[in-house]
Amino acid sequence: MSANQQKKVRVFSGIQPSGQIHLGNYLGAIRGWVENQDKKDNIFCIVDLHAITTPQNPIELKKQTEILTTLLFASGLNPDKNTIFIQSQVPAHSEACWILNCITPIGWLERMTQFKDKSSNKKTVSAGLLDYPVLMAADILIYDTQEVPVGEDQKQHVELARDISQRFNNIYGETFVTPQPVIPSTGARIMGLNDPTVKMSKTFSHIKGHSVGILDSPDEILKSFKKATTDSGNEIQFSEDPSKAGVNNLLTIFKVITNKNNSQTEKHFSNARGYGDLKAEVAEVVIQEFKPIREKYQMLKNDQPELNKLINKGSEIAQSISSVKLSEMKNKIGFIN
């Protein structure tokens, strides 16, 4: 790594290969990663170890991991500027997680709202699900991460990583950088098209019309938007009114993709003839945004040797950075090297 790269702020983010990657993931995470790739020293991790905290079909997990990895490269993340790798290929994550487990009070984990949500009404809940945020802390801390770009829903987990880093530093001496969550100011929360009161989520990707996949065909994208839930009015304006959440969501998607502000967005639709026009135009900007990604995806998918080369390169870099921190952790806690 060059001296120049060293000086850049280290950013780490993770994304689960546990279902179809949708417009919410793209606008809330991937797009921002691509935009910032020149400014920061970025590490992006496909977190398959996190995915198995809830039951996964092995064939499906493998398929989704391959799709997601290919999609990240296809989305415009340059492998020469970013480290992109698969979590389970770098054992330091699991090892560091175990060590951090042993200094993390269970009470800290039991109060995580995502754990409460994911575990409620379940017959059995894995220990891994409770431990999920410690693995996430390990992901972040073993790279001396300074910034963690995440959606609002993950902020509590990054705050826990901060607490864990400070606790380890207090017990064993200065070891970890304390990371900062970075929440995108726009597009932080894209809602479901069928139900704009819930976040667009991989969990609901089986529900028709809920989400738009990055690899959906233009036809499918248009259909999903045409069926999007709106209201009985015809005003195309941003609104806090819960009954206008559908229109608000469509305007938000348009605004984020076209880099407009609220008033420019409203002005753009001032001559629209109702929600039909709005839906068609939003669908069109989404189709155009995803078009080059779909094309690059197809190209890479058909070039397995190139894809393998990119994946191996990412693992090697991740391995070389994280192994240094893991050794330091082992030393400090009294393991024989």
CB proximity list for 290: less than 8 A, separation 6 or greater: 26, 214, 215, 216, 221
Separation CA 193–CA 178 (nearest Å): 37
Q: Would residue 118 show up in a list of annotated catalytic residues for this protein? A: yes
Q: For the segment 142-171, give every residue that binds ligand TRP (CB under 6 A).
A: 148, 150, 154, 157
Q: Rule CB under 6 A: is residue 250 a binding residue for ligand AMP?
A: no
> How far, in Å, CA of 150 to CA of 139, rounded?
14
* Shortest reach from residue 158's CB to ligand TRP, in Å: 7
The listed partner (ligand AMP, ligand TRP, none) that binds 136, CB under 5 to 8 Å by sort, is ligand TRP
Q: Strand locations in the chain, DSSP E?
A: 10-15, 41-46, 82-86, 147-149, 180-182
Nearest approach, Cβ of 151 to ligand AMP (angstroms)? 2
Contacting residues for 59 by C-beta, under 8 A, at least 6 apart: none
| Position 17 contacts ligand AMP (CB under 6 A) | no
Instruction: Tell me which residue has its CB nearest to ligand TRP.
Output: 14
Active site residue 123: no
Which residues from 278-337 bind ligand TRP, rule CB under 6 A? none
Q: Which is nearer to ligand TRP, 15 or 311 (CB)?
A: 15
7 classed as catalytic: no
Q: Compose the 176-195 pattern: x for residues touching ligand AMP by CB under 6 A, - for all others.
A: ------------xxx-----
Rounded to a whole number of angstroms, the minimum distance from the CB of residue 150 to ligand TRP is 5
Q: How far is the CB of 309 from ligand TRP (least distance, A)?
A: 25
Contact 28, 187 (CB under 8 A): yes
DSSP class of 305: H
CA-CA-CA-CA torsion sign (265, 211, 299, 313): positive
DSSP output for 205-260: TTSTTT--BTT--HHHHHHHHHT----S---------GGGHHHHHHHHHHHHHHT-
DSSP-based three-state secondary structure for 266: helix
Contact status: 200 vs ligand AMP (CB under 6 A): yes
Of residues 199, 223, 296, 332, which has the active-site annotation? 199
Q: Which residues contact 32 (CB under 8 A, 6 or more apart)?
A: 149, 184
Cβ-based neighbours of 12, under 8 Å, separated by 6 or more: 42, 43, 44, 45, 139, 140, 143, 145, 147, 148, 179
Near ligand TRP in 41-80, by CB under 6 A? 47, 50
Taking the CB of residue 25, how many other CB atoms lie within 10 A of it?
A: 24
List the helix and strand counts (H, then E) for the chain: 15, 5
Stretch that binds ligand AMP, among 149-157, 219-227, 285-293, 301-309 (CB under 6 A): 149-157
- Per DSSP, 203 falls in state G
Of residues 118, 223, 296, 313, which has the active-site annotation?
A: 118
> Which is nearer to ligand TRP, 157 or 210 (by Cβ)?
157
What mask of x and - would describe binding to ligand TRP in positions 101 to 140, judged by CB under 6 A? Answer: -----------------------------------x--xx
Residue 12 in the binding site for ligand TRP (CB under 6 A): yes
Q: Which parts of this chain interact with ligand AMP (CB under 6 A)?
A: 15-16, 24-25, 28-29, 150-151, 153-154, 188-190, 199-202
Active site members: 118, 199, 202
Q: Which parts of this chain interact with ligand TRP (CB under 6 A)?
A: 12-16, 47, 50, 136, 139-140, 148, 150, 154, 157
